[in-house]
Amino acid sequence: MQRQTAGMTLIEVLIALAIIAIALTAVIKAASQNIRGTNYVENKMIALWVGQEVMREVQVGLLSLPQGEEGEAGAMNMLGHDWYWRASEESSANVRIKKLRVRVYEHEPQDGDAQSLIDLDGYRYHAA
């Protein structure tokens, strides 16, 4: 007498569900990492725009910086988020050229413990 199977056994169904669960977990983890990476790149790009804006303001004379390591600090709202920056001006080998350094932070730095999101260096000509 031949026996016909009309479907899958319970063990086969459980194994198939386990395989699907593992595959979906990997897909969800990859999507989550992609979202975090996209957010990081977005924040770096906005911080770059903020730093470039501060650098331009210093170069055209709208913002004056004291000489030294401490420099000037400020905040700028861009794309609905407050970004904090610190800019300083240092002398260079040429007395007419000043080195500018701008650091941009996602959160307000407290006593130098914050890691800057982006650091920009630039130069400006200072006529004597």
CA dist 7 and 5 (Å) reads 6
Report which secondary-structure segment, H or E, holds 12: helix 10-60
- Go through the domains of the chain in sequence order and give each one's CATH number: 10-125 (3.30.1300.30)
Would you state the pLDDT for residue 27? 94
For 20-64, write each residue's pLDDT tens digit: 999 999 999 999 999 888 999 999 999 999 999 999 999 888 888
Q: Which tens digits make up the pLDDT trace of 62-108?
A: 888 877 667 889 999 998 999 999 999 988 888 899 899 999 999 88
Is the Cβ–Cβ distance between 88 and 68 less than 8 Å?
A: yes
pTM: 0.72
